[in-house]
A = this chain, B = another copy of it.
């Protein structure tokens, strides 16, 4: 597991290569032997686990429970919902057989042709179909509603071009699937979960997001409305970071899920679904990190504080060990994850570079002179600023510093987004600006045709119609037709 600390591509030289390098060199993930599938390495998985824990608590606090539905979906289920099949049946992993046998020619194992399945099974690209087929048995009356289920699972979409975390054939995610007695309640649920995602992104990941609605072209296959949170990466491109769908009665109709309402009438059930995935890891990396490596928000960093001793000989080391022990203990008691790295097979300089690469938010360094002076060196990863402070009360100092870093990287990302957001009124201006990256707020006539034309001519898509902010009507920058409000355009991941 040799760590190559050097040769991390600079962002300015090649942003895309910088990202790929960083994912591998910071030990987050690597390509596997299976096309488009990655191995999530322990350090990367530790960040994902932290995300999962926080999100899971937020889901439970909003009344949701976890369940688990099958990995495999009968092929015919996909065809039940007309739009859904178009969106998801195209590129998916198909299980056709259930047995291998020894190759009669002696070359390993081959598929046993006698073990062909009657109906092919699809590895879930998303679970609406199998879940709504299940809900049919769970729902008969309004008393059975709402159902507020979530599942943590792996899913698979046979993507042509993959990039680690951002777009992989297999990825990990959570998918919430809720069932409601009324349209209003389902719509409110979809909006509520978008709010949960936005809170998580901003308060934990320190990634500012715009909450909005997708245009019809960008909607989830089978949804009446798709809500989204959109984040801006350092290169000015957008990353869709989470979506929440109001599905209307589409899946209830496709799977015949009806209930007796309070007026004793038979009615189709209303639905939502919502999900975030390991793609969030990509958003996290690309929002904050720099040419020295990862920059992690303290709230999601597996190691929040690292302490490195600088010493000559065992005597100095044991003095430092002794001084550090109560600091480690107190930090842990405060709920701060701390690592004391006194391993003697690596030089301090190597350790410094490694923890910078790994994005550990705070580094403390203690040497013999510090012991004499009652001081300790503090380095914050976000700004790389170093200073020497009193060792007494260092625990409170670190606690405040972690809060400060969490806040600072959010403000920095917010400023960056603000600096790269442009209000544009003509299509010529738009075409010029989009080449430089960033979010463009512009008027659009609301038609798929205009949206399609803009996409073809500029590679920019409508990221969302924002829920908040300026709602002044205007005229479409392309056609001059009326526009209800400005929408957010960007090139995207």
Enumerate chain A interface residues (CB-CB to B < 8 A).
1-2, 30, 32-34, 37-42, 45-46, 48-49, 65-79, 85, 89-101, 108-109, 111, 120-123, 130, 133-134, 137-140, 143-144, 149, 153-154, 156, 158, 170, 172, 345
**27 sample A-B contacts, Cβ–Cβ < 8 Å, listed by A number:** A30-B134, A32-B69, A32-B70, A32-B134, A34-B70, A34-B72, A34-B121, A37-B72, A39-B68, A39-B70, A39-B134, A42-B65, A45-B66, A71-B170, A72-B93, A75-B108, A85-B109, A89-B109, A90-B99, A91-B98, A91-B99, A93-B95, A93-B97, A94-B98, A94-B100, A98-B158, A143-B345
A130 / chain B contacts, CB cutoff of 8 Å: 32-34
Judged by DSSP, the binding face of A is mixed
* Residue from the set A48, A98, A345 with the largest chain B CB neighbour count within 10 Å: A98
Instruction: State how many angstroms separate the Cβ of A402 from the closest Cβ of chain B.
Output: 22
* Residue from the set A2, A39, A68, A345 with the largest chain B CB neighbour count within 10 Å: A68
A149 / chain B contacts, CB cutoff of 8 Å: 42
Instruction: State how many angstroms separate the Cβ of A108 from the closest Cβ of chain B.
Output: 4
| Candidates B32, B39, B93; contact of A98 at CB < 8 Å | B93
CA distance A120 to B301 in the complex (A): 38
A93 / chain B contacts, CB cutoff of 8 Å: 72, 95, 97-98, 121
| Candidates B33, B94, B139, B154; contact of A97 at CB < 8 Å | B94
CA distance A40 to B152 in the complex (A): 12
Query: Given contacts A32-B69, A66-B42, is CB(A94)–CB(B89) below 8 Å?
Result: no
Cβ A42 vs Cβ B67 within 8 A: yes
Query: Given contacts A32-B130, A120-B111, A130-B33, is CB(A96)–CB(B99) below 8 Å?
Result: no
Cβ A45 vs Cβ B67 within 8 A: yes
Cβ B34 vs Cβ A74 within 8 A: yes
CA distance A39 to B89 in the complex (A): 23
Query: Given contacts A45-B65, A72-B34, is CB(A109)–CB(B79) below 8 Å?
Result: yes
CA distance A138 to B34 in the complex (A): 17
CA distance A42 to B138 in the complex (A): 12
Instruction: State how many angstroms separate the Cβ of A262 from the closest Cβ of chain B.
Output: 12
Cβ A96 vs Cβ B98 within 8 A: no
A67 / chain B contacts, CB cutoff of 8 Å: 39-42, 45
Cβ A96 vs Cβ B111 within 8 A: yes
* Residue from the set A95, A96, A139, A345 with the largest chain B CB neighbour count within 10 Å: A95
CA distance A38 to B68 in the complex (A): 9
Query: Given contacts A42-B66, A100-B90, A154-B154, is CB(A71)–CB(B121) below 8 Å?
Result: no
Residue of B nearest to A79 (CB): B108
Known: A33-B134, A79-B109. 12 other contacts (CB 8 A): A1-B144, A32-B130, A34-B72, A38-B70, A49-B66, A71-B170, A93-B95, A93-B98, A94-B97, A94-B99, A96-B97, A154-B154
Cβ B96 vs Cβ A94 within 8 A: yes
CA distance A95 to B91 in the complex (A): 13
CA distance A34 to B99 in the complex (A): 17
CA distance A137 to B33 in the complex (A): 12
Query: Given contacts A34-B73, A70-B170, A78-B100, is CB(A123)–CB(B140) below 8 Å?
Result: no
A139 / chain B contacts, CB cutoff of 8 Å: 1
| Candidates B45, B100, B156; contact of A122 at CB < 8 Å | B100
| Candidates B46, B78, B95, B143; contact of A65 at CB < 8 Å | B46
Cβ A100 vs Cβ B71 within 8 A: no
* Residue from the set A38, A100, A108, A140 with the largest chain B CB neighbour count within 10 Å: A100
Cβ B33 vs Cβ A77 within 8 A: yes
CA distance A74 to B70 in the complex (A): 22
Residue of B nearest to A69 (CB): B39
A121 / chain B contacts, CB cutoff of 8 Å: 34, 93
Instruction: State how many angstroms separate the Cβ of A159 from the closest Cβ of chain B.
Output: 10
CA distance A75 to B101 in the complex (A): 11
Cβ A92 vs Cβ B96 within 8 A: no
A38 / chain B contacts, CB cutoff of 8 Å: 70
